Every structure is written in structure tokens, then in C-alpha cells.
Amino acid sequence: MPELPEIETLRRALEPLLVGRRFETVEIFDRRLSAPAEPRTLAGELSGGRVQRVGRRGKYLLVEFDDERTLLVHLRMSGSLRHWARAALPEDPYRRALISLDDGGMVGYRDVRRFGTWRLLGPDELDGYLDARLGPEPLEASYGAAELGVALSRRRTPLKAAILDQRTVAGVGNIYADEALWRARLHPRREAAGLDADELRALWRGIRAALRRGIACQGSTLRDYAQPDGQEGRMQREFKVYGRGGEPCERCGTLIERSVVAGRGTWTCPACQQLTPTRAPVVAGRSRS
DNA sequence: AGGTGGACCCGAACGC
DNA sequence: TGCGTTCGGGTCCACC
């Protein structure tokens, strides 16, 4: 499940491989990938383009060409990109596209479930397309808890559903939502607009910490995601709750539980993340300020 | 209008 | 063992 950390890892790896390179030929084998454009049309439009920059916005990888057009690649669930320096690429029944570069390198796009999308936009279309779908970048230095608070205000949906909404904050998916909520000690079913200032700040910190950790580990490999050289991420070893049902919470030892929130598998520590927090025990002789 | 649930897809995991 | 069924995940879209 590629989310922001996986896409950012991919971006960093592809940048030195693609910047300055020209797409010599492009083949697209799956019409779903290019839709609504025809595979042949998109492939033709991409052929000959020279890459100026490799960017990222939320879970979109942005390949910017020197004529200002941008290819938006969304891996959805099972997409991945591989690079080979020499054209000795292995057979792959799930390869959906293939790019040959002007230095002899090849880039293959693989997607078992065929949810991924490639879309080529002009400079006049790009910002509108992204801004209609995505909220702020959570790792930007300018991103603060107040901005998160505005996005959550007046929303009566469960907190986790709000975080998964890409317009609330860009790039957080099911894995990092659970990790962020555990870090913030917040129950995923809390009403999104119902957080106090301390809780909001904890959530803001939790989201950023979980994403940063993911990037530091070069993402998480569960089934399909891998880096362009085929190397797997390491973040899955560091999950605090995701997929860890029945294992002890590292903070308190309580067993992690699985439930369904917003239609998604959801893992929480039932002690650390309570829907109606029990009052902190009063210590005899003094009260908390 | 915001929230919810189904559709898309297909391998893996599960149940009998 | 082998078969059929269910599940999951991000996003869009129809529906309430």
C-alpha cells in the first residue's frame, strides 16, 4: 500500500535515474492505466519527452518534462516501478508499461491489481487537478497543527475517516493513519472535530513522526511495493500497531486489537487509545496542574 | 452538503 | 486435496 513515505522513497531513487533523460519509447499494455486516454495516445505523447524534475504531491509521483507537461503516476494499491540500467529485463506478466531511456536504461511499471493510473497534464491543468484532490503536504515546514485543526473542524466523521480523506492532509493511507493515531493516543472513532488543542497537536505530531519514520525506513513492503532496484522497505518491521493484532503494545503491553473503522482494517491499543478516556488516576496528596 | 457504501481488480487467505 | 468464497486497499461516484 504505497503511501506518502513509499512514494517519497521512490521519488528520491528515481530522481538521479530520470532527470536529464529522454523517454525514447513508451509502451502501455493496459488501457486502464492510461484511461481516459488511449494507451497508444498517451504512449505517443510521452515518447521523446525529456525529464526535468521528479516530484511528489501526496501519493502522486510527478514526472515533469522540459516542455512543462507532467506525468502523474498513482500506484494505488499494487503499483511499482523498476529500473534496469541495461536492457536485460525479466519477464513479468503484470508489467503494464515499459519506458526505454536514452541512456539504455529501462523503467517498467508493474501492477497486479490494475488500479494504478498514469495521466499527462499540461501546466495549466496540473495545479487545479491536484488541488481539487489534495490537502496540504504534512511534512512541509509550514504545515502546523492549526492547519490540521481547520481541516478537521466541523467534521462529524470518525477521526480515521477524516485522516484518510486526502483533502484533509495529503498522503496518509491506512497504514500511516493507524500508526499516527497510536502515536497520538487517539481512538480512530473519535469525532474528527472533537479534539482539544493538546489532542490536535498530538495528532499533528503523530502524523509527521509516522511519515518521517516511514521515509527513514525507505517505506514498508507488504506485498507489492518495492524500490526501483527491487530492494524492499523496512518500515513494516517497525509498525507499532498496523497488522499487529494479538501482539503487545510496546508502551503498555496491552494486546493490540483489530476492528473496522471507515470500512478499513484498523489496529489500535485498547488501553492507549480509548474512545472515552478514563480520568488519569489521582495521585494521593497532589493534583496535576 | 457531508457522510456512506459499492465498484473497480485479483492474489492470498480462509472455510468447508 | 481441492474447490469456492471472502478480503483488502485508494479513489471515485452514486446515493441518501
pLDDT at position A238: 74
**Which of A66, A76, A267 minimizes the C-alpha distance to A176?**
A267
- Report how far residue A228's alpha carbon sits from residue A30's, in angstroms, rounded to the nearest whole number: 20
The overall average pLDDT reported for chain A is 88
A250-266 pLDDT, tens digit per residue, is 999 999 988 888 888 88
> Which SS3 state, helix, strand or coil, does residue A54 take?
strand
φ/ψ of A226, rounded to 5, equals -155, 165
**Whole-model pTM?**
0.90
pLDDT at position A280: 52
Spot the catalytic one: A57, A59, A82, A208: A59
Distance, angstroms, CA A245 to C1' B15?
A: 21
A41-66 pLDDT, tens digit per residue, is 999 999 999 999 999 999 999 999 99
A72 pLDDT above the threshold of 50 = yes
For residue A176, the tally of other CB atoms under 10 A from its CB is 28
Q: At A87, is the pLDDT very low, low, confident or very high (cuts 50, 70, 90)?
A: low
Closest C1' nucleotide to A263's CA? B5
- Look up A56 and say whether it is catalytic: no
Asked if A115 CB < 7 A from strand B, the reply is yes
A76 pLDDT above the threshold of 50 = yes
* Alpha helices per DSSP H over chain A: 4-18, 31-34, 39-46, 123-133, 145-152, 159-164, 174-184, 197-216
